[in-house]
Amino acid sequence: MSLKPSPLAMVPFVSVDNMMKLVNRIGIAEMIAGIADVIEEDFKRWPEFDKTPRVPSHSEDGVIELMPTSDGVTYGFKYVNGHPANMARGYQTVTAFGLLARVDTGYPIMLSEMTVLTALRTAATSVVAAKYLAPKGAKTMALIGNGAQCEFQSLAFQKVLGIDTVQLYDIDPAATQKAVKNLSETGLNVMACDSAQAAVSGAQIITTCTADKQYATILTDNMVGAGQHINAIGGDCPGKTELHKDILLRSDIFVEYPPQTRIEGEIQQLDPDHPVTELWKVITGDAQGRTDARQITLFDSVGFATEDFSALRYVHRMLAEHNIAQDLDMIADPDDPRDLFGMVQRAKETH
């Protein structure tokens, strides 16, 4: 009997190096737009998915979470952490990996890094929401928090919505200068601002993407005017917010999955029965999004498992075209499925 792994035992693995090759071959903005298309496809079939709030393990240092879902044919999950203090240690604040598997056999069909991919899918989700909620013809976006998400968000909104100006602010001027440098050859008009107030002035879209794990007030009520759209993407755990409560009370609020967002999002500041609209219903036409020019719309985004599932589906689809992956021998696959012990014993001959 052969000890060589069968094809069923080999699982494509998209390493960080593989992911960077794939992103650069496709193009960052183009890949975000492609992921956005799949996210939108999957929001349109929202009832098909298993849905549960992510499973968290909280500590004083941060959070580790598992985000599972399935559409009945394919199962997917993402493992992700959020540790704001990591920056001071020289580590990433967020790291992640994910997996897709066949529901009918339970066999995995792809394992992938998701630190880079999460940045891409977060930008893709933001732009999908803004497509339905932002003012038509918006050209200027404020980005409050210029860390790991900033450039991806900027390119997404330039590519999909035609934003031509980004106004940047971060409490750390070095973060803003990093973003200005990285965006210098994108064709965007990039403006470094010395305050959050200056950044949001004249912006039709405001994106907040800060990392501190605390109740914070990145935007005060007086900063937000009629007609603006807010993407609040930094709040993603209990005890972490970015917006003053009064902004929420003036806004029409749109969320991914209410049972998760009420725990982790900006709306954790509000009464449990405060009305919100699920984004998928807007996309399918079952609910209204932006209805008038003076309306303040807020996408209270915390990230949901279906979005990661969509991003993994996109990458799996791209592997067929670009073949950028390596095979991992992950699944024990004895010649006789009942004889796992025998397979281990026969391996003595080669070890």
Q: Which residues are catalytic?
A: 236
**Other C-beta atoms lying within 10 Å of the C-beta of residue 341:** 9
Tell me the two tokens of residue 9.
């035992």
Q: Which of 164, 206, 207, 209 is nearest to 188 (CA)?
A: 164
Q: Which conformational region is residue 124 in: left (phi greater than 0), alpha (psi within -120 to 50 degrees), or beta?
A: alpha
Question: Percent helix, strand, coil in the chain (nearest 5)?
Answer: 40, 25, 35
Identity of the amino acid at 274: H
Angle at CA of residue 340, ends 337 and 341, nearest 5°: 145
Q: Are the C-beta atoms of residues 106 and 167 closer than 8 Å to each other?
A: no
Distance in angstroms (rounded) separating the CA atoms of residues 156 and 317: 20
User: How far does Cα 265 stand from its chain's mean position?
Assistant: 14
Handedness of CA 221, 222, 227, 228 (dihedral sign): negative
Query: Nearest 5°: phi and psi at 62?
Result: 165, -150
CB 98 within 8 A of CB 337: no
Q: State both tokens at 31.
A: 């890949």
Q: SS3 of 143, please?
A: strand
Going by C-alpha positions, the residue among 304, 263, 283 that lies closest to residue 121 is 304
